[in-house]
Amino acid sequence: MLDTVDLSKRTRKTEYKARKDDLENQLGELQRKLRDLELPMIILFEGWGASGKGTLINKLLLSLDPRGATVHSITEPTAEEHSHPYLWRFWTRTPARGRIAIFDRSWYSRFLIEDYDRSIADKVGDRTYEEVNAFERQLIDDGCILLKFFLHISPKEQEARFKELESNPSTAWRVTERDWEKHRHYGRYAKITNLMMARTSTQYAPWTVVEAEDWRYATQKVFSTVIQSVETRVRTHNQTEVRFGSPPPDQDPAPDKLSEVDLSPKLSRSEYGNQLRKHQERARELEHELYHQGRSAIIVYEGWDAAGKGGNMKRLLRRMDPRGYEVIPIAAPNYVEKAHHYSWRFWQVIPRDGHIAVFDRSWYGRVLVERVEGFCTQEEWKRAYREINEMEEHLVNHGTIVFKFWMHIDSETQLRRFQDRQRTPHKRWKMTDEDWRNRNKWDQYHAAFNEMIYRTNTDFAPWTIVESNDKRYARIKTLKTFCAELERQLR
Amino acid sequence: MLDTVDLSKRTRKTEYKARKDDLENQLGELQRKLRDLELPMIILFEGWGASGKGTLINKLLLSLDPRGATVHSITEPTAEEHSHPYLWRFWTRTPARGRIAIFDRSWYSRFLIEDYDRSIADKVGDRTYEEVNAFERQLIDDGCILLKFFLHISPKEQEARFKELESNPSTAWRVTERDWEKHRHYGRYAKITNLMMARTSTQYAPWTVVEAEDWRYATQKVFSTVIQSVETRVRTHNQTEVRFGSPPPDQDPAPDKLSEVDLSPKLSRSEYGNQLRKHQERARELEHELYHQGRSAIIVYEGWDAAGKGGNMKRLLRRMDPRGYEVIPIAAPNYVEKAHHYSWRFWQVIPRDGHIAVFDRSWYGRVLVERVEGFCTQEEWKRAYREINEMEEHLVNHGTIVFKFWMHIDSETQLRRFQDRQRTPHKRWKMTDEDWRNRNKWDQYHAAFNEMIYRTNTDFAPWTIVESNDKRYARIKTLKTFCAELERQLR
């Protein structure tokens, strides 16, 4: 893409001056519209060294109301960032609805900077392209406006700018040996950049190359592009009820496998006693081994009300080291969380390397309670199966081990446990009216659970059905599954 | 304190078994009470190596509802933590009202671990003691229950435990050379620990030494202490309306200095033009110098409505590098923020070393809008002057440079600007009914502003009164003040 760009483009000073105030006012007004319509926007900048990113971003930023815009400067990942999946530091920085995030360098730095030091076509790179494209699609499906700018200058212009910076004592430090090194390999970088653009210029998120040799031209082009995109989007938003995102893929009907689960397995008290302690000790050892190897694990607990999630979890964690795990209970999203893509709040608490996160309910709420209770649209929950699979794949790509336990009981067992809870004083607080309301929707929840398992039972993150009519059997099964899989992965 | 502890205390197995379930149920019930009363609690554990902290914390944790409790393991500070003020990583982890935070090691690690490697009585240590005591007082004044446990074992017992761990292949790695090294200097550590306890056993947050040679005794003591403290607190809470915290100190009346400010200074357009660019260039250089030296700066903007904060800020930042600063607009706290100490949300956004944070309004809201509009009690805002001074001192202790600009105008100027805004189409969005309502409370706000400046005008973080009837004069004054102070500090 870069080769065909005409870098001679200029904007005259008088023309620039005449349009400047107008562009700034338009932008300010559009920002207020975005806020009113609750549309989030991401503007990201990549580009050559000394192509003027900083100055341009500052111009953009100062034309905006600072209450609604944030700049994120992406530099080398910190140790904390390295010990999380690649997209973690970007997902956690995606803007809330109505806000603007400006990225000075971005998730593309991995290709542009890191690729220089290794084979371009390696597998990690391939996988990361897929991750990035999925990430952008998910944001756009959720309503986000995404603009990607690449500031382009010729090697000759870059050399001139480096020399000018070096000639001034107060700016000389800004040109490093590494910059010159990169300058000498301009051609190689251009090739990497072209490849990157080819692979990530999707229909939903194309790149805009900005001719940046003349700063007035560049400024005007960026401002105009932003204004035009927002205007188009605002117009579309007003015209139709249709969401901007891609439609969910066609889905085959999910066969009812859940009804076929044999819930009869039981364990006697003595068998249980024999196995419990042994596996708990082993779980503790494996927790330490996971820490040593710098791997991480996620354990998702989903299940019917009164299936015994809490007690099961306690047995799993009983002898583990509290420094190595965290239990993350998931309730209804608060209003800060609602202002983001639904998976944003889960990215916030993804465990770092060496650690285990236990989710007491999870992102599956999107296709369960949110689906059944109508808290999201049909399009949204249908899209969520793929989004969830992608998220879990990105975690696994990083090295995270993902467990998903489905705690399954039948209707009679649930009823008996509900009644028992109401009779027992120190258990009564566990019961709410909502539990009875949910029970009345048994069939709807059954359909949602069944479809969830069907569509998200992937090779990299399979479900484990935990037969939980007998709590002892269920507890040993999760412990055994946990230990066996960790042993396999950590061997 | 440690010398007088009787380490021979034991709890018999039968006695322990008999009480265990009862203690766990009581704790669970009290946790629900804390949640209902919206009281936050912190339980922190320090203690000798192999004194059983991990096991004890796990017992405590698993007796609680995981939806309301979080464990924080404090290890060596990360690079990110090192580049923030000492208390940053603890302030940001203080629990919301109704929640429990358990600290496995804590803000005391600095004394217990780091002091070993340097002079005990150095100045940094002294200052940190003061910071820690102020931190705990502020939390307790805000309603937090704080329990501090030290798990104590003898050197003989420690040696035996290390040896036992080493004899088992799956736990041998847990005893490091450093642990043995510390063991050999047990006496020196005991001295440091005694000193630490003496300096931080305040009336509002005393230490509890736990005899930890017998795990049953230790578990029972910790459970009982927690239960008793919460019960006492819950009882007090129900009996009286009085807050648990310390009363605000007696305060002398604040003389009205604000009325004496001479608002006549002006700058001609040509003088302004001459100076603006020069100081903006200098500000950019100093921003880079700050980055190089790894210092940080905070710029607080407070002032009357229509005093020109936004425009002033833009001139200050016009030529700066957006990678080095962030504008942080402060509006009314959201409900997550309201569930914490009021300064919690500011600690979240304290700049890291090398960076500048510009606060468009700030923590001073506590003694301004919250005072005038009655959003907090009189006791709370009176206490806040000291709390704010302490927070700013803690920042300055770390090396942060704190600017506080008070944008001052008179009533006529405000009226003229309000009217102008309503007449000009692209400014109209700036005006709300609230601006007029606030204007009607001019005298109350004047009193609050005046008292704020009087009580928080400290040596380490002084106010700069910016005479803002003339915007040009005001813009040059903030730029000059910023440049001059940075030059002085970075020399």
Mean of pLDDT values over A261-286 = 96
Q: Which two tokens stand for residue B416?
A: 């003229």
Residue B66: which of A323, A360, A426 has the nearest Cβ? A360
A152 and A215 belong to one structural domain: yes
Say which CATH number the domain at B282 has: 3.40.50.300
Is residue B407 situated within a structural domain? yes
Q: How many angstroms away from the CA of A40 is the closest CA of chain B?
A: 18
Q: From chain B, pick out residues whose CB is under 8 angstroms from the CB of A360.
A: 66-67
CA-based nearest residue in chain A for residue B312: A62
Q: From chain B, pick out residues whose CB is under 8 angstroms from the CB of A100.
A: none
Task: Tabulate helix, strand, coil % of chain A (nearest 5).
Answer: 55, 15, 30
The residue of A43, A45, A58 whose CB has the most chain B CBs within 10 angstroms, and thus the best one to mutate to test that interface, is A58
The band of B197, judged by pLDDT with boundaries at 50, 70 and 90, is: very high
- Contact (Cβ atoms closer than 8 angstroms) between residue B174 and residue B70: no
End-of-domain residue from the set B205, B224, B239: B239
Render B162-216 in DSSP notation, one character per residue: HHHHHHSTTTGGGS-HHHHHHHHTHHHHHHHHHHHHHHH--SSS-EEEEE-SSHH
- Distance separating alpha carbons of residues B170 and B65, to the nearest angstrom: 31
Q: How many angstroms away from the CA of B253 is the closest CA of chain A?
A: 36
Residue A318: which of B62, B78, B334 has the nearest Cβ? B62
End-of-domain residue from the set A190, A222, A239: A239
A30 and A139 belong to one structural domain: yes
A90 and A231 belong to one structural domain: yes
Contact A71 B323 (CB under 8 A): yes
Contact A58 B173 (CB under 8 A): no
Q: From chain A, pick out residues whose CB is under 8 angstroms from the CB of B359.
A: none
Q: What is the dihedral of CA A453, A456, A461, A466, to 10 degrees?
A: -10
Q: From chain B, pick out residues whose CB is under 8 angstroms from the CB of A327.
A: 66
* DSSP single-letter state for residue B146: E
Contact A173 B292 (CB under 8 A): yes
The band of B171, judged by pLDDT with boundaries at 50, 70 and 90, is: confident
The band of A127, judged by pLDDT with boundaries at 50, 70 and 90, is: confident
Residue A122 has pLDDT above 70, yes or no: no
User: CB contact, 8 Å: B80 with chain A?
Assistant: yes
Per-residue pLDDT tens digits for A322-351? 999 999 999 999 989 999 999 999 999 999
For residue B302, which phi and psi values (nearest 5 degrees)?
-130, 160
Pairing of strands A145-152, A100-104: unpaired
Is residue A249 situated within a structural domain? no
pLDDT at residue A118, as a whole number: 54
CA-based nearest residue in chain A for residue B333: A336
CA-based nearest residue in chain B for residue A26: B426
Mean of pLDDT values over A201-206 = 92
- Contact (Cβ atoms closer than 8 angstroms) between residue B159 and residue B55: no
B62 and B195 belong to one structural domain: yes
Q: Report the DSSP beta bridge partners of residue A146.
A: A42
CA A274 to chain centre: 42
Mean of pLDDT values over A391-399 = 96
Residue B360: which of A54, A66, A70 has the nearest Cβ? A66
Is residue A73 situated within a structural domain? yes
Residue B283 has pLDDT above 90, yes or no: yes
Crossing angle between the packed helical segments A177-184 and A186-200, to the nearest 10 degrees: 80
Residues with Cβ < 8 Å from B145, sequence gap 6 or more? B34, B39, B40, B41, B42, B229, B230, B233
Pairing of strands B207-211, A207-211: unpaired
Q: From chain A, pick out residues whose CB is under 8 angstroms from the CB of B331.
A: 67
pLDDT at residue B65, as a whole number: 87
Q: Which two tokens stand for residue A313?
A: 């979890």
Is residue B255 situated within a structural domain? no
User: CB contact, 8 Å: B425 with chain A?
Assistant: no
The mean predicted confidence, pLDDT, of chain A is 92
Sign of CA dihedral B197, B203, B204, B207: positive
Contact B326 A104 (CB under 8 A): no
CA-based nearest residue in chain A for residue B322: A58
Percent of chain B with pLDDT over 90: 82
- Contact (Cβ atoms closer than 8 angstroms) between residue A348 and residue A334: no
Residue with tokens 């249908």: A382
pTM of the predicted model as reported, rounded to 2 decimal places:
0.90
Render B312-332 in DSSP notation, one character per residue: HHHHHHTTS-TTTEEEEE--S
pLDDT at residue A315, as a whole number: 95
Is residue B200 situated within a structural domain? yes
Residue A104: which of B292, B320, B323 has the nearest Cβ? B323
B66 and B101 belong to one structural domain: yes
User: CB contact, 8 Å: A156 with chain B?
Assistant: no
Per-residue pLDDT tens digits for A82-91? 999 999 999 9
Per-residue pLDDT tens digits for B396-450? 999 999 999 999 999 999 999 999 999 988 888 888 889 999 999 999 999 999 9
CA A297 to chain centre: 17
Cα-based angle B433, B437, B441 (whole degrees, multiple of 5): 165
B369 and B480 belong to one structural domain: yes
Residues with Cβ < 8 Å from A56, sequence gap 6 or more? A45, A151, A212, A215, A218, A219, A222
pLDDT at residue A120, as a whole number: 44
Provide the residue type at A218 as one letter: A
Per-residue pLDDT tens digits for A307-316? 999 999 999 9
A269 and A358 belong to one structural domain: yes
User: CB contact, 8 Å: A25 with chain B?
Assistant: yes
CA-based nearest residue in chain A for residue B321: A54
Is residue A381 situated within a structural domain? yes
A34 and A165 belong to one structural domain: yes
A401 and A306 belong to one structural domain: yes
- Contact (Cβ atoms closer than 8 angstroms) between residue A37 and residue A100: no
A211 and A342 belong to one structural domain: no
Residue A458 burial (10 A CB sphere; 0-12, 13-18, 19+): middle
Q: For chain A, what is the radius of gyration of the CA atoms?
A: 27
B182 and B311 belong to one structural domain: no
Q: How many angstroms away from the CA of B148 is the closest CA of chain A?
A: 18
A386 and A433 belong to one structural domain: yes
Residue B1 has pLDDT above 80, yes or no: no
> Residue A320 sits in which domain range?
265-490
pLDDT at residue B117, as a whole number: 53
Residue A130 has pLDDT above 60, yes or no: yes
End-of-domain residue from the set A175, A204, A239: A239
Mean of pLDDT values over B468-482 = 98
Residue B114 has pLDDT above 70, yes or no: no
pLDDT at residue A121, as a whole number: 44
Per-residue pLDDT tens digits for B331-370? 999 989 999 999 999 999 999 999 999 999 999 999 999 9
Contact A292 B173 (CB under 8 A): yes
Cα-based angle B250, B256, B259 (whole degrees, multiple of 5): 160
Contact B104 A285 (CB under 8 A): no
Q: From chain A, pick out residues whose CB is under 8 angstroms from the CB of B58.
A: 317-322
The mean predicted confidence, pLDDT, of chain B is 92
Q: Is B147 helix (H, G, I), strand (E, B) or coil?
A: strand
The band of B120, judged by pLDDT with boundaries at 50, 70 and 90, is: very low
Is residue B250 situated within a structural domain? no
Is residue A313 situated within a structural domain? yes
Contact A314 B25 (CB under 8 A): no
Residues with Cβ < 8 Å from B250, sequence gap 6 or more? none
Residue B124 has pLDDT above 80, yes or no: no
CA-based nearest residue in chain B for residue A63: B314
Contact B322 A70 (CB under 8 A): no
Residue B230 has pLDDT above 50, yes or no: yes
Q: Is A242 helix (H, G, I), strand (E, B) or coil?
A: coil
From edge to edge, which strands make up the β-sheet containing A100-104? A69-73, A100-104, A41-47, A145-152, A207-211
> Which range, of A22-26, A239-243, A360-364, averages the lowest pLDDT?
A239-243
Domain count, chain B: 2
- Distance separating alpha carbons of residues B362 and B359, to the nearest angstrom: 6
Per-residue pLDDT tens digits for A148-184? 999 999 999 999 999 999 999 888 988 999 899 999 9
